Amino acid sequence: MRRRSFSGASTSSNESTSSEERATTGWLRFMFEGARHILTTVILSSLLILLLKEPRKVRSCQTLPRFQGGWDFEENHHTAAQFRKDYRMSRRTFDYIFDKIQDGITVACLPCHIMVEKRRKLACVIFRLANGCSLSALEKCYGMSPSGIVQASDEIWGLIIDRMWKEEVDSLYPKSHEAFMAAAADMDKEWQFPGAFACLDGSHIPIKVPPGGAESRKEYYNFKGWYSVILVAMCDARKRIIWAVTGMPGSTGDSSIFEATRKYNDILNQNDLPESPAFKIGNIEIPYMILGDGGFKHFAWLQKPFSRAARTIIDKYFNKRLSRARMNIEATFALLKSRFRFLYKQNESSVDTINKGTMCAIVLHNLCLRFGDVIARARSLRYDARGGRRRRSEIRDLIAINSDRSYRYTASALPATRVRNALRDMFWEERSASVRQNEQNITSDPETDYDSDPDPSEPINVGRVDNGVVSDTSDQELPQQLSD
């Protein structure tokens, strides 16, 4: 009986276990089938969505064809005059720049990953610097995207500054006593101010509204009523820029910018100018001088005009002589902005890009003067639309030079005052001697008619090339290579 009952319990237990296993297996099978149906549905739905969805748009710079014939036509068919008209330089100058930096120019135009010819990239950024045109206009002419043009500008302008600044700008600043003597002799020959070797002034470079809130906008807002950064530069008698600094906000004064530079500290510490004087007037030693306006501090080596306080006729004549010589830096700024309109027009570039473009323009400015590349009078800011010469005040407004604060009351150091008074007396004595000589000539030859008209049979000079600008009376009188 016991064996039978035990056998029956075992059988019922096995039956219950097998039923549970069957139930579990059925449930798992049901779950697996459901998951398979769901996964199949998801996959089919995803494939259907991908088939019905519009294809993803690839970047336009990679797919849309761009016009590539602008530079190709200029390179192969433009005459020398047409090339100079577009790029403000000759082909020889362009080839010289390309030879200097070609190994550093990349052929990839990021971020579009388009291969661009090196000469095309150089031509694009120089054309942008020369004409100050928009990125959309350059895109249509050179087949490059706006972002690619910005990237190419930063790359090539940086290469020009790194590789050519020392040769074209730093090397022009006098380093020895003989170099200072030669620079002072040129200034005396061209502008009749002995002892001076350079002129100093500042000019505004227009920018867009800068980021950074109201405080930043206030710093860059200049007294002329627009936003700018300031370029402070020195030039020699030949209108070559020998020292420059840029990037300070437009509300900053020229003197404050100059006093914050290393050049100013080197001159103060007597590490820049020669110890021996340029010449002597009596027992007063006249050092080699820089000519500036009234906004700068007065030193023996930095001469400025007399103020209005108790100014005599002798003081006025000294101011006239100094102003005539200091006009050289204003003419330099006018030539620089006439050649490179990127510095003259307000554009949408960032402050860093404008600063880099300004320094690059200075290098190319000196290079063009060295190669003898002139610009037509019609494109010079020194002449109006009718070909007449603009007044000095108009030129100052066009090139955005800070107002002349020469009549500000500033205390002058005693050595600086002695040097200025000695120069004033010397200039007045020269003028008096010249007047006496003219009176003697008139007295000794009374039959000479100094007011008579010139002989009509003598040839008349109708035009000349003066300091990088073609200054003539008729475009028809120009040679073919300069008429454009």
Residue 401 pLDDT exceeds 80? no
The reported pTM is: 0.75
Of 113-122, 309-318, 370-379, 451-460, minimum mean pLDDT range: 451-460
Of 13-17, 319-323, 456-460, minimum mean pLDDT range: 456-460
**pLDDT number for residue 69:** 58
pLDDT in tens, 215-273: 778 888 988 888 999 999 999 999 999 999 999 999 888 999 999 999 999 999 888 89
- Report the 3 state secondary structure along the chain: CHHHHHHHHHHHHHHHHHHHHHHHHHHHHHHHHHHHHHHHHHHHHHHHHHHHCCCCCCCHHHHCCCCCHHHHHHHHHCCHHHHHHHHCCCHHHHHHHHHHHHHHCCCEECCCCEECCHHHHHHHHHHHHHHCCCHHHHHHHHCCCHHHHHHHHHHHHHHHHHHHHHHHCHHHCCCCHHHHHHHHHHHHHHHCCCCEEEEEEEEEEECCCCCCHHHHHHHHECCCCCEEEEEEEEECCCCCEEEEEEEEECCCCHHHHHHCCHHHHHHHCCCCCCCCCCEEECCEEECCEEECCCCCCCCCCEECCCCCCCCCHHHHHHHHHHHHHHHHHHHHHHHHHHHCHHHCCCCCCCHHHHHHHHHHHHHHHHHHHHHCCCECHHHCCCECCCCCECCHHHHHHHCCECCCCCCCCCCCCHHHHHHHHHHHHHHHHHHHHHHHHHHHHHHHCCCCCCCCCCCCCCCCCCEEEECCEEEECCHHHCCHHHHC
Where residue 392 falls among pLDDT bands split at 50, 70, 90? low
What's the whole-number mean pLDDT along residues 429-456? 67
**pLDDT number for residue 41:** 83
Is the pLDDT higher at 479 or at 242? 242
Query: How much of the chain exceeds pLDDT 90, in percent?
Result: 43
Where residue 459 falls among pLDDT bands split at 50, 70, 90? very low
What's the whole-number mean pLDDT along residues 112-129? 84
Of 36-40, 70-74, 148-152, minimum mean pLDDT range: 70-74
Residue 281 pLDDT exceeds 80? yes
Domain boundaries of the chain, sorted by first residue: 20-53, 66-168, 183-339+376-430
